[in-house]
Structure 1
Amino acid sequence: MTFALHGLPVSQGIAIGHVHLISHALLEVNHYLVQPRHLPDELARLDDAVATVQGELVGLKAAATSGQTHSEVGAFVDLQLMMLADPLLIDSARNLIETRRCNAEWALVQQMNHLVEQFRQIEDPYLRERQADVVQVVERLVKVLLGHPGHLPPKRRDGLGTIIVAHDLSPADTIGFRDHNIAGFVTDVGGPTSHTAIVARSLKIPAVVGLHHVRDLLQADELVIVDGTRGVIIVGPDERIVEEYRLRRSELEIERSKLNRLRDTHASTLDGETINLLANIEGPKDLPAVKTANADGIGLYRTEFLFIGRDTLPDEDEQYEAYRSVLKALPTKPVTIRTFDVGADKALAGAPARVEPNPALGLRAVRYSLAEPKMFLTQLRALLRASAHGKLQIMIPMLAHAQEIDQCLALIDKAKTELRAEKQKFDEAVQIGGMIEIPAAALSLGMFIRRLSFLSIGTNDLIQYTLAIDRSDEAVVHLYDPLHPAVLKLIGGTIATGARYGVPVSVCGEMAGDPSYTLLLLGMGLRNFSMHPGNILEIKQQILRSDLSDLAPKVQRILKMDEPARVREAVERLAT
């Protein structure tokens, strides 16, 4: 019987293949007491398992970095290697073994549960989903301790690929699968920023996540179609349906190959308006992808990835080297670096811990920076020193109040004064900008425009705060709507106000990299898009086909609509 399942589309494309079920270790291990005389042996078991998993991950890291397309996977393996060395996991498990006289498996699972609960309190969806790293590292350790290694799917000989179906997938899993003709990924859990989503996009493999109990609904070797564009899984399709999707897949592959020809084409509309296509990055490791897409610069460098998943905070010199390497690699292009967007709920190593009733509305981003001026000043000094090596722009996240900007500018002036006294070189005219992520900021732009050189709209947070929707919460994700009339009014108003006063405005949230919103944003007046490097060519194709003189009046009519269904229909008609 043919039937369809619906989930979250996180990596576009169409895959046709047979199901390979990956078992999900629930980590419900036995608990037993260890005799005092056997405790050294139990500690040695744990140490041996850690050494074994470290060896596996180092080998997987080498495999990941052997090809440019796997750089993101290698970064995730790095994070898991750091977790293996983190005393909060391994040393705490050792302490449990010694004090509770328990077995190593049980000690690891108890500490894992403690750490996962801490991750669940984090507001940022990307960082919150890093709880998966803790679970996956402990799963690997427990499998070694129990002597239950995983197995890879066999290579198929019928010309069809393999569809991996799992509760969740780790980056290490995806590397091991790469030589086994994997066509698609399907998982019970996950969202747009989960491991499976990010890695699938990196490898250009169709993926659908968030299907809840999909493993219970599918059988091994069953024929399925994965539509990663629409978020649909078709189970047991007949030959007619298979042929239809083969045709659609061929059309998509032809379109994708055509996109590569646009790499060196200047992004401009049919009526001659130049559009800047910038890249979002997490660090120097992303530079190959930026150059492959021939991005016009960096619109968002997320510096918080220098701070998380480590025992100590990066000092000024380490930060300086990371920022400088990106600026030197793109000497003639603008590089916008965002100051760290973290919160007290993230419990950074070396930083004071705080307990907050609601971290989403608490001390995060610029608020956290201003609450920790010493840490913030260190970052500002590193950024200013790096500005001597390229076209740096500094961006402050989550602004809502004029005094926040004034305090940031005062600290920047303090950092400049210190560097001058030390005869350190820096760009005296470095531009300072701010992110519009809170409705209050979008509704009171005057105080930002008077103080800042540029603005960038973070649509992910702006939508969440406007609609009170956590887009990573599967229970309410259906209410997360970028086309809600209130959201569009805030975005459109910010772009229009920036244009009126000559202040550049960009969009660096996921809307900028989604081709279904490109024409809408162009019609609003957006001229600076910042996105994942892998999306740049598809957005460029949309731009090359657009006519602003035709789009602008249509979009202005859309902004006056107050019925979501009518808005969505009108946006879809823009492309026709």
Structure 2
Amino acid sequence: MSFQLFGLPVARGVAIGRALLVSSSRVDVAHYYIEPAQIEAEIQRLRMARDAVVEELETLQRELPGDAPAELSALLDVHVMLLQDELLGAATKQWIAERHYNAEWALSAQLEVLARQFDEMEDEYLRERKADLEQVVERLLLVLSEGGGGRGRAGGLPQLSAATGDNPLILVANDISPADMLGFRRSVFTGFVTDVGGPTSHTAIVARSLNIPAVVGAREASRLIRQDDWIVIDGDAGLVIVDPSPIVLEEYRFRQRSGELERERLGRLRHTPAVTLDGEPVELLANIELQSDAEAAIAAGAQGVGLFRTEFLFMNRNGELPGEEEQFEAYRGAVMAMQGLPVTIRTVDVGADKPLDRLSIHELRQEQGLNPALGLRAIRWSLSEPSMFRQQLRAILRASAHGPVRLLIPMLAHESEIRLTLEMIDRAKQQLREAGLAYGEVQVGAMIEVPAAALMVEAFLDRFDFLAIGTNDLVQYTLAIDRADEAVAHLYDPWHPAVLHLLHHIIRAARKRGKSVCVCGEIAGDIDFTEVLLAMGLRSFSMHPSQIPALKQKVLRTDTRRCSVLRPARGVPD
């Protein structure tokens, strides 16, 4: 039966595919397709795992002490029966044979199917047997993961090979961590749906940056959608259609094809200079997260990198931070890939919605009801880890010997932070000179993303070479809205007069001092904001490479002399 779910539209476009529900098991599950020739071997892996678990349970049963409760032995009997039940075994083999799922994926898929059947049972005792089923499957998954033949993964997001498999997949989950989203670009997912999240949660930001249709904050999506359901994501309306009718499906397939044709048309603007109708040149830069993203920036016609988010080098590493040499190679690779165009590298910005594995304090603060966004994050964390910070600074400075590099510091708000940061940079340069390692001339900039920094922008202009405005956090902190919380997502408003006043104040101050200022938050790639930002005097935008063609078209069609009349209407001061 077809039904619809509504959430928040965070990444435009249409996605059509089968639902892949992330397993609720506590065991990490490898997800990959197998070749047809591997089907029998994969079924054999499953059979061997089942036999091993049966033997383990039977051994436990034999070794039960004489005074053990009779219920314990009976429970072990139930687990053995579940293991040998065809509803689990035969159906799992069917997933392997027909869909070419690996054994772990097939098990987790069948667990979802059976778990729903248990939930629908009227008898309370039978419903409670779902927990036994989950425990049995968890034992099987543990044996499969330990017994070889499986392909593990670093994070919680399934890593799927696109080599085989006929159906596109849509990920359905309660939430997806930023680190897990790194694997998204290498997977076969065409879209995703999450129960939680807001329009500027990191999950939503990555979806837009990868140009993947997505809906977040859909509340009950992961409970109502079944494994393998056909799904349509309407990323423009925030709509999820489950099991669509043939007519609806054809309509969305037409919209999908139209979107692809529009992207091809915009791609022809790649070599066209971004100049407004009245002759104002506009700098269009790219945000990147990994060294490999530089290729996409060049392909999109970016004039440089306005924001290299280095924190993704630090994630999914089981608590081990990257060393200076590893970071240097990553930064140098990005600089050289940009072929002489400038690269702005931001020092690590972790905390809030981007915790590191080792930052257990993040989870502790969440459990205590504290907001990690107001805690130890970004430059605050870097200054609390001086050895790590100096390593990163040295790596960035060394990369500047291979091309133009600008160094960007996130979330500064206090004079003491500015002083300590600049001292650390000077110390890193001294260490490189003493070690005989080369580095180039590096401009140092500050990110303005805290209202306090916006209000004292003149002090920042005295100490830094350039400014970058992080509008995602600036809106969050100005309006006291947790941008990852769907419960208050409707209050997150970049059009709020207070936000617009701060933006105009920062841009006007920087232009008056003759220093460059760039917007690199989400509104930079939002064409609805382009004219207003141009009217404020902004001439540098940084966004994901996929957003550059549409924004360039908007710039080419804009006359800044005429769009300036929008300022009073939008609440921006003259």
- Verify same fold: TM over 0.5: yes
Query: Alpha carbons of 1:22 and 1:37: their partners in 2 closer, same or farther (altered >3 Å)?
Result: same
Aligned partner of 2:120 in structure 1 is none
> Is 1:389 equivalent to 2:382 in the alignment?
no
- CA deviations 1:504-556 (Å, max 9, x no partner) are 11011111112222222112211111111111111111111111000123224
Shift of 1:333: 1.0
Query: Alpha carbons of 1:497 and 1:32: their partners in 2 closer, same or farther (altered >3 Å)?
Result: farther
Whichever residue aligns with residue 379 of structure 1, its letter is: Q
Aligned partner of 2:343 in structure 1 is 335
Partners in 2 of 1:529 and 1:298 — Cα distance?
10
TM-score (norm 1): 0.68
Aligned partner of 1:320 in structure 2 is 328
Partners in 1 of 2:525 and 2:424 — Cα distance?
33
Whichever residue aligns with residue 477 of structure 1, its letter is: A
Shift of 1:175: 8.8
Aligned partner of 2:277 in structure 1 is 270
Partners in 2 of 1:33 and 1:541 — Cα distance?
69
Query: Alpha carbons of 1:294 and 1:371: their partners in 2 closer, same or farther (altered >3 Å)?
Result: same
Partners in 2 of 1:340 and 1:172 — Cα distance?
16
Query: Alpha carbons of 1:500 and 1:281: their partners in 2 closer, same or farther (altered >3 Å)?
Result: same
User: Contact 1:344 / 1:353 at 8 angstroms: preserved in 2?
Assistant: no
- Pairing of 1:174-213 with structure 2 (within 5 A): 178=188, 185-189=192-196, 204-213=211-220
- Pairing of 1:353-502 with structure 2 (within 5 A): 358-427=371-440, 429-502=441-514
Whichever residue aligns with residue 227 of structure 1, its letter is: D
Whichever residue aligns with residue 24 of structure 2, its letter is: L
Unaligned runs of 5+ in 1: 39-55, 61-101, 110-131, 141-148, 562-576
Partners in 2 of 1:560 and 1:226 — Cα distance?
35
Partners in 1 of 2:354 and 2:547 — Cα distance?
29
Match of 2:288 among 281, 290, 293: 281
- Pairing of 1:69-148 with structure 2 (within 5 A): 105=138, 134-136=155-157
Partners in 2 of 1:238 and 1:281 — Cα distance?
39
Q: 192-201 or 322-331: which moved more? A: 192-201
Partners in 2 of 1:387 and 1:303 — Cα distance?
15
Shift of 1:337: 0.4
Whichever residue aligns with residue 341 of structure 2, its letter is: K
- CA deviations 1:438-492 (Å, max 9, x no partner) are 0011111111000000000001111111111112112111111111111111111
Partners in 2 of 1:307 and 1:465 — Cα distance?
25
> Is 1:539 equivalent to 2:551 in the alignment?
yes
Partners in 2 of 1:5 and 1:473 — Cα distance?
18
Equivalent pairs: percent with the same residue? 50
Partners in 2 of 1:443 and 1:279 — Cα distance?
27
User: Contact 2:13 / 2:234 at 8 angstroms: preserved in 1?
Assistant: yes
User: Contact 2:481 / 2:492 at 8 angstroms: preserved in 1?
Assistant: yes
Query: Alpha carbons of 1:284 and 1:193: their partners in 2 closer, same or farther (altered >3 Å)?
Result: farther
Shift of 1:435: 0.2
User: Contact 2:400 / 2:439 at 8 angstroms: preserved in 1?
Assistant: yes
Shift of 1:358: 4.4
The 3-state SS of whatever aligns with 2:336 is: helix
Shift of 1:229: 1.6
Aligned partner of 1:7 in structure 2 is 7
The 3-state SS of whatever aligns with 1:450 is: helix
- CA deviations 1:170-191 (Å, max 9, x no partner) are 879979984xxx8754444455
Shift of 1:493: 1.1
Match of 1:512 among 505, 514, 524: 524
- CA deviations 1:94-146 (Å, max 9, x no partner) are xxxxxxxx99947999xxxxxxxxxxxxxxxxxxxxxx975557xx9xxxxxx
The 3-state SS of whatever aligns with 2:467 is: strand
Whichever residue aligns with residue 304 of structure 1, its letter is: E
Shift of 1:163: 6.8
Partners in 1 of 2:257 and 2:359 — Cα distance?
52
Aligned partner of 1:27 in structure 2 is 25
Q: 222-231 or 494-503: which moved more? A: 222-231
- CA deviations 1:42-83 (Å, max 9, x no partner) are xxxxxxxxxxxxxx9xxx9xxxxxxxxxxxxxxxxxxxxxxx
Shift of 1:291: 1.7
Q: 232-241 or 334-343: which moved more? A: 232-241
Partners in 2 of 1:247 and 1:353 — Cα distance?
48
The 3-state SS of whatever aligns with 1:470 is: coil
- CA deviations 1:270-315 (Å, max 9, x no partner) are 1111111111111212122112112110111111122222242222
User: Contact 2:300 / 2:548 at 8 angstroms: preserved in 1?
Assistant: yes
User: Contact 2:19 / 2:230 at 8 angstroms: preserved in 1?
Assistant: no
Aligned partner of 2:308 in structure 1 is 301
The 3-state SS of whatever aligns with 1:332 is: coil
User: Contact 1:275 / 1:528 at 8 angstroms: preserved in 2?
Assistant: yes
Partners in 2 of 1:452 and 1:300 — Cα distance?
17
User: Contact 2:201 / 2:483 at 8 angstroms: preserved in 1?
Assistant: no
Partners in 2 of 1:348 and 1:164 — Cα distance?
23
> What number of residue pairs does the alignment pair up?
456
Partners in 2 of 1:344 and 1:216 — Cα distance?
27
Partners in 1 of 2:141 and 2:227 — Cα distance?
31
User: Contact 1:162 / 1:183 at 8 angstroms: preserved in 2?
Assistant: yes
User: Contact 2:211 / 2:546 at 8 angstroms: preserved in 1?
Assistant: no
Partners in 1 of 2:251 and 2:137 — Cα distance?
52
Shift of 1:362: 2.2
TM-score (norm 2): 0.68
User: Contact 1:298 / 1:334 at 8 angstroms: preserved in 2?
Assistant: yes
User: Contact 1:185 / 1:196 at 8 angstroms: preserved in 2?
Assistant: no
Query: Alpha carbons of 1:426 and 1:33: their partners in 2 closer, same or farther (altered >3 Å)?
Result: farther
Shift of 1:11: 2.9
The 3-state SS of whatever aligns with 1:327 is: helix
Whichever residue aligns with residue 384 of structure 2, its letter is: A
User: Contact 1:437 / 1:462 at 8 angstroms: preserved in 2?
Assistant: yes
Aligned partner of 2:85 in structure 1 is none
Query: Alpha carbons of 1:307 and 1:185: their partners in 2 closer, same or farther (altered >3 Å)?
Result: closer
Match of 1:521 among 513, 533, 543: 533
Partners in 1 of 2:354 and 2:412 — Cα distance?
19
The 3-state SS of whatever aligns with 1:263 is: coil
Partners in 2 of 1:558 and 1:464 — Cα distance?
19
Partners in 2 of 1:250 and 1:107 — Cα distance?
42
Query: Alpha carbons of 1:423 and 1:350: their partners in 2 closer, same or farther (altered >3 Å)?
Result: farther
Shift of 1:422: 2.6
Partners in 1 of 2:209 and 2:354 — Cα distance?
26
Partners in 2 of 1:191 and 1:214 — Cα distance?
15
Q: 550-559 or 332-341: which moved more? A: 550-559
Whichever residue aligns with residue 27 of structure 1, its letter is: S
Query: Alpha carbons of 1:226 and 1:349: their partners in 2 closer, same or farther (altered >3 Å)?
Result: closer
The 3-state SS of whatever aligns with 2:407 is: strand
Aligned partner of 1:97 in structure 2 is none
Partners in 2 of 1:398 and 1:244 — Cα distance?
45
Shift of 1:9: 1.9
Aligned-residue Cα RMSD (Å) equals: 4.3
Whichever residue aligns with residue 316 of structure 1, its letter is: E
Shift of 1:255: 2.2
- CA deviations 1:401-437 (Å, max 9, x no partner) are 122112111121122222223332212x311000001
The 3-state SS of whatever aligns with 1:336 is: strand
Query: Alpha carbons of 1:465 and 1:423: their partners in 2 closer, same or farther (altered >3 Å)?
Result: same
Whichever residue aligns with residue 395 of structure 1, its letter is: L
